[in-house]
Every structure is written in structure tokens, then in C-alpha cells.
Amino acid sequence: MKVEIGHNVKVHYKGTFSDGTEFDNSRNRGSTLDFEVGSSRMLGGFTQAVIGMTEGETKTIVLGQNDAYGEINRDAFRNVPKADFGEGFVFEVGGMIKGNGPRGPFVARIHEILTDEVILDFNHPLAGKELTFEIELVSIDAEEATQMANWNTKMKKAELLEIARDQGLSVNTRSTKAQIIEALSA
């Protein structure tokens, strides 16, 4: 069986930068990456690479920055007073910090240390980088995908919306039930 959109898959992967430095490895964590193919949870290029694979197959892909986490956004750098960190905080360029701001929890990297301020980088840590993934397809579960294909017009709008989103269709909570059914029927 080959992977199709809607299948649930388990993969092992190793992620490296263009210089060969490893940034992530599912085997080192001791567990597979499990996801539904076509869900918005995964990088598009990673999902596309898995489509058509068979169990046991291994594939290597290279994603440019625009296909991965995007370019570095200069507007995502912020100057923050050192006093905001409290006494005893140890500042280290490249260090990751977690905190709560006006918009909720955040993670940032210390980009530069100035006299009274630090410059924080709120970009994704992998932004601006070309990424190589070695992907091994461990297993395919098509049962849920089959269930998703068995939708009907008598289902509630919320159920249809979830199915449509899982299939990667362009619908949202403002879509009417009729619009969702039309998208699923296309």
C-alpha cells in the first residue's frame, strides 16, 4: 500500500542542516513521528515526500527555507530591557528563553547582548535554513482515512468541518454547512 492523503503514518526521520549538522532525530528520542498525511500540522514538503511511499521505504529530501520555516523576519527581533529578566539571570548569545508576554507564552533566542538591553529573536529556530530530512516510513494506517471518506450530508457541520480540514480543504468556521459539503464533494 502507498501513502495517500488522509492516511495516518509513523515515520522515523533525521533532520540535518546543509553542512551535515544534525538538528533532530526521532530515533534519538526513541519514538516515531505520527501524523495524518495532509494535515496542516506538518511542513508541506515533508508531507509531499511521504505521499506515495511504502512501508519500509527510505527517502531523503531537501527543503529550502521557503519550503521549511521561511526566511528570517527582521521584524521578529525585539529589544528588551535586561531588568525585565530579574536579578541573577545569565545572558548568553544563542540561549533560548521562555516567557509570558502580552500575547501569551513565547519562546525566543538571545541574538545580541547590549549594555542595558538584549535583542531577542522571535523567529522559529529553523527559519532561514535549508533542511535535509532522511525519512523512513515505518507504518501506514488507512483505516481512519477510510472512515473520513464515509462522510454524509446528515452529519453535523462541526463533524464535516473537521473532515474537510483533515483533508486539507480550504474551509473554516465561517463556512456554511453547504459550502463544506460542496468542498468535500469536489
Per-residue pLDDT tens digits for 114-136: 999 999 999 999 999 999 999 99
Instruction: Look at residue 186 in the predicted model and tell me its pLDDT.
Output: 67
DSSP at 91: P
Q: pLDDT tens, 60-119?
A: 999 999 889 999 999 999 999 999 988 899 999 999 999 887 888 889 999 999 999 999
Work out the percent of the chain whose per-residue pLDDT is above 90.
60
Instruction: Look at residue 149 in the predicted model and tell me its pLDDT.
Output: 56
Q: How far is CA 144 from the centre of its chain?
A: 21
Instruction: Look at residue 151 in the predicted model and tell me its pLDDT.
Output: 75
Task: List 39's β-bridge partners, or say none.
Answer: none
Q: pLDDT tens, 174-185?
A: 888 888 888 877
Mean pLDDT (the chain, rounded): 89
Instruction: Look at residue 154 in the predicted model and tell me its pLDDT.
Output: 78
How far apart are alpha carbons 97 and 108 in whole angstroms? 5
CATH 2.40.10.330 residue ranges for the chain: 74-121
In single-letter form, the type of residue at position 18 comes to S
CATH 3.10.50.40 residue ranges for the chain: 1-72+126-143
Strands 117-121 and 77-81: antiparallel
- What CATH architecture does domain 1-72+126-143 belong to? Roll (3.10)
Work out the percent of the chain whose per-residue pLDDT is above 70.
95
- What CATH architecture does domain 74-121 belong to? Beta Barrel (2.40)
How far apart are alpha carbons 91 and 109 in whole angstroms? 11
Q: Is 126 left (phi over 0), alpha (psi -120 to 50) or beta?
A: alpha
Pair 35, 46: CB distance under 8 Å:
no
